[in-house]
């Protein structure tokens, strides 16, 4: 597989010895392995897991099987070599786990344990990304290196072999891991334990995954952080596993036919990216008269928080407007058509020309970073923050607001449905679902991305209330 390498200083979060021991017990299923078996520690660093394996087996008076430890960091490999010097059952290999062949490692393995490196898509150099995409089935979308470790380990594991990984729990639900979920669901995923987030300090929300290399034989046991245990049959279609767990926990049954929210929407999307908010977004109080025809009330995610969740927005409290050089159909105005605005923007021409959209994508110097689809935006709609502690949805009943890129919006096909849909989105049922389905950001915040909202199943009573929505769905402010 070529010489692709990720920067070796990133993605290294050492496993605390107590967690390593806990994982080793899971690896050997709380028994002892036959002495002729082979164990691999993938991305072994200085050998935390090897040490734990030896301690675990010595405590039980069992023989040490053959242990191979591989890492691509020369210094760590040397540390491991010194640590296990004189132990002929331990072999430390300096090499790239993602590129090494089974033959180079002396054959397949009965057990594989790993705390793989976490290297986000952005940190992988573009050449390696292309290479990984060609070699690994799970290298899809904005993949992370730890996902590739799962796939590689499955190829090196012998039939009926066991693997135990500790990784970010994100792979259980992010879109970019749907290929990995599809792959893992073909095997017996015995257990997934969500570990206390303080275990690693820097690594938020870790999960320990135990897989046996054979077809699924029964449900997967999920051990959740609140101590509860849920057994679920993992779906093979790549959808979020946490969603499935949450539905099992709440006793929610997906309707046989799910009518997805996106079918009721003309558009569900992130708000408008100008590329230079400090130029295009100005306080309404200082707006010169000649710019009024180009000014639209705007909100950022932070601005939304001043309103009561679920409330119809109080337009008199919106302090900012966005200056938009487009007509209401979304056509970019010519320089002579929008003279006062062009005169104002000319003062910032240099910084506007620095934007990627102008420099590299050939857009006009005064165009917004993305052309705003105003014919959809300027309709009654529902708004929400992209990152929030609690999901909250707000109504722009007049359809006047142009949301900024920190706000998502949903435009119902039928404008009368704006209230009833907002009421549904603000219901405790949806709040619970979103809290568990959405990707987590720092400090317990969640990302309310549009693809999650699109997938929500609309209850039948909302579909049938469609015609009365305008009369009955009015929200309390
Ligand atoms: C998260 S650390 C875990 C280290 C140790 N196993 C532990 O649990 O404390 C990940 C390790 O993977 C190694 N690594 C990163 N990319 C690798 C690759 N392509 N092949 C082999 N090792 C790699 C890093 O050098 C690092 O030591």
Query: How many angstroms separate the alpha carbon of residue 71 from the centre of ligand 1?
Result: 6
CA distance 425 to 382: 9
DSSP 388: E
Instruction: Return phi, psi of residue 299, to 5°.
Output: -135, 145
Q: Specify the fold of 262-325+370-472.
A: Adenine-n6-DNA-methyltransferase TaqI; Chain A, domain 2 (3.90.220)
User: Could you give the CA distance from residue 213 to residue 109 in angstroms, rounded to a whole number?
Assistant: 11
β-strands 109-114, 38-42 pairing:
parallel
Burial (Cβ within 10 Å: 0-12, 13-18, ≥19) of residue 278? exposed
Q: Determine which residue's CA is closest to atom 9 belonging to ligand 1.
A: 14
Q: How far is the CA of 74 from the centre of ligand 1 (A)?
A: 11
Q: Which residues of 95-106 are buried (b: 16+ CB within 10 A; e: fewer)?
A: ebbbbbeeeebe
CA-based torsion, 17, 19, 23, 26: positive or negative: positive
- Find the helix or strand (DSSP H, E) in which 58 lies: helix 48-59
41 Cα to the center of ligand 1, angstroms: 9
**Domain range summary for the chain, segments of one domain joined by +:** 17-250, 262-325+370-472
CA atoms of 153 and 155, how far apart (whole Å): 5
The reported pLDDT for the residue numbered 305 is 85
Query: Could you tell me if 424 and 462 are in contact, meaning their C-beta atoms sit under 8 angstroms apart?
Result: yes
Enter the DSSP assignment of 1: -
Q: What is the pLDDT of residue 227?
A: 86
CB 95 within 8 A of CB 104: yes
Q: What was the pLDDT predicted at 175? A: 83
Question: In Å, how far are 91, 155, 223 from 97, measured between CA atoms?
Answer: 14, 12, 29
Residue 2: predicted pLDDT: 35
pLDDT of residue 476: 30
Kindly report the protein residue whose alpha carbon is nearest to atom 10 of ligand 1. 117
Q: How many whole angstroms separate alpha carbon 178 and alpha carbon 15?
A: 26
Position 465 scores a pLDDT of: 60
Residue nearest to atom 21 of ligand 1 (CA): 71
Which amino acid residue places its CA nearest to atom 24 of ligand 1?
43
The owner of tokens 């786990």 is 97
The pLDDT, as a whole number, for residue 255 is 55
Please give, one letter per residue, the 3-state secondary structure of 232-279: ECCCCCCCCHHHHHHHHHHCCCCCCCCCEHHHHEEEEEECECCCCHHH
Nearest atom (ligand 1) to Cα of 118: 1
Backbone conformation region of residue 443, classed left if phi is above 0, alpha if psi is from -120 to 50, else beta: left
Residue-by-residue pLDDT tens, the chain, 477 positions:
333 344 444 457 789 999 999 999 999 999 999 999 999 999 999 999 999 999 999 999 999 999 999 999 999 999 999 999 999 999 999 999 999 999 999 999 999 999 999 998 889 999 999 999 999 999 998 899 999 999 999 999 999 999 999 999 999 988 889 999 999 999 999 999 999 877 776 556 899 999 999 999 899 999 998 888 999 999 988 888 988 888 888 776 555 567 889 989 999 999 999 999 999 999 999 999 999 999 999 999 999 988 887 678 889 999 999 999 999 999 999 999 999 999 999 999 999 999 999 998 899 999 999 999 999 999 999 999 999 988 999 999 999 999 999 999 999 999 988 988 998 899 888 888 888 778 878 778 888 988 889 988 887 777 766 444 433 333 332
Query: SS3 helix, strand, coil % of the chain, rounded to 5?
Result: 35, 20, 40
The Cα 468–Cα 472 span in angstroms is: 6
Q: So what's the pLDDT on residue 475?
A: 33
Distance (Å) from CA 189 to ligand 1 centroid:
23
C-alpha 45 to ligand 1 mean position (Å)? 5
Nearest atom in ligand 1 to the alpha carbon of residue 73 is: 25
Look up residue 458 and give its two tokens. 């609309």
Residue 254 has what pLDDT? 55
Structure tokens at 382: 């529902």
CA distance 200 to 212: 26
For a mutational test of ligand 1's pocket, the pick from 3, 12, 20, i.e. the residue with the most ligand atoms closer than 8 A to its C-beta, is 12
Going by the DSSP 8-state scheme, the letter that residue 312 receives in this structure is B
Instruction: Please enumerate in sequence order all residues whose Cβ is within 8 A of that of 94, keeping only pairs 6 or more positions apart, or say none.
Output: 70, 71, 72, 74, 77
Smallest CA separation from ligand 1 atom 2, residue: 12
| Distances from the Cα of 409 to the Cα of 106, 266, 305, 390, 448, angstroms | 55, 11, 15, 17, 11
What is the rounded distance in angstroms from the CA atom of residue 275 to the CA atom of residue 284? 20
CATH architecture for residues 17-250:
3-Layer(aba) Sandwich (3.40)
Q: Which pLDDT score, from 0 to 100, does residue 361 have?
A: 87
**Strands of 281-283's sheet in order across:** 281-283, 320-323, 295-299, 402-403
Q: Would you mind telling me the total number of residues written for the chain in this entry?
A: 477
Instruction: Using the CB atoms, write b or e for 239-269: b if 16+ within 10 Å.
Output: bbbbbbbbbbbeeeeeeeeeeebbebbbbbb
pLDDT (0 to 100) of residue 408:
96
Find the residues whose C-beta lies inside 6 A of ligand 1. 6, 8, 11-15, 43-45, 48-49, 70-73, 76, 96-98, 115, 117
Residue 357 near residue 369, CB atoms below 8 Å = yes
């Amino acid at each position: 597989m070529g010489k692709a390498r990720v920067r070796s200083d990133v993605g290294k979060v050492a496993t605390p010895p107590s967690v390593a021991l806990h994982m080793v017990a899971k690896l050997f299923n709380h028994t002892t392995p036959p002495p002729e078996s082979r164990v691999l520690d993938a991305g072994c660093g200085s050998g935390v897991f090897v040490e734990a394996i030896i301690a675990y087996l010595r405590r039980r008076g069992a023989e040490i099987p053959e242990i191979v430890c591989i890492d691509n960091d020369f210094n760590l490999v040397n540390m491991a070599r010194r640590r296990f010097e004189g132990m002929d059952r331990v072999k430390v290999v300096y090499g790239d786990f993602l590129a090494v062949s089974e033959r180079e490692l002396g054959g397949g393995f009965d057990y594989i344990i790993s705390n793989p490196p976490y290297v986000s898509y952005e940190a992988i150099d573009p050449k390696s990304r292309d290479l990984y995409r060609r070699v690994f089935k799970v290298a899809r979308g904005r993949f992370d290196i730890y996902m590739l470790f799962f796939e590689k380990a499955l190829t090196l594991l012998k039939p009926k072999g066991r693997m135990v990984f500790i990784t970010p729990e994100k792979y259980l639900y992010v879109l970019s891991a749907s290929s990995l979920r599809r792959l893992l669901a073909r095997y017996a995923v015995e257990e997934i334990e969500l570990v206390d987030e303080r275990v690693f300090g820097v690594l938020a929300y870790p999960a320990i995954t135990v897989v046996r290399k054979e077809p699924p034989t029964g449900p997967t046991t999920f051990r959740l952080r609140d101590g509860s245990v849920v057994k679920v049959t993992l779906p093979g279609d790549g959808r979020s596993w946490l969603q499935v767990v949450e539905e099992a926990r709440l006793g929610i049954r997906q309707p046989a036919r799910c009518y997805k929210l996106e079918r009721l929407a003309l558009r569900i999307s992130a708000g408008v990216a100008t590329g230079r908010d400090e130029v295009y977004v100005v306080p309404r109080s200082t707006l010169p008269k000649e710019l009024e025809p180009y000014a639209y009330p705007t909100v950022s995610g932070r601005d939304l928080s001043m309103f009561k969740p679920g409330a119809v927005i109080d337009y008199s409290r919106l302090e900012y407007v966005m200056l938009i050089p487009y007509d209401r159909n979304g056509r970019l105005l010519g320089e002579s058509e929008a003279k006062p605005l062009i005169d104002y923007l000319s003062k910032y021409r240099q910084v506007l020309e620095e934007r990627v959209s102008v420099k590299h994508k050939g857009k006009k110097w005064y165009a917004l970073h993305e052309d705003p689809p105003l014919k959809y935006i300027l309709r009654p709609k529902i708004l929400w923050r992209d990152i929030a502690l609690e999901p909250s949805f707000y109504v722009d009943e007049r359809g006047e607001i142009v949301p900024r890129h920190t706000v998502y919006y949903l435009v119902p096909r039928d404008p009368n449905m704006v209230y009833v849909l907002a009421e549904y989105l603000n219901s405790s049922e949806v709040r619970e679902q979103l809290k568990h389905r959405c990707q987590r950001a720092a400090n317990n915040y969640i990302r309310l991305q549009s693809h999650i909202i699109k997938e929500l199943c609309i209850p039948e009573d909302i579909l049938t209330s469609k015609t009365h929505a305008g009369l009955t769905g009015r929200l309390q402010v």
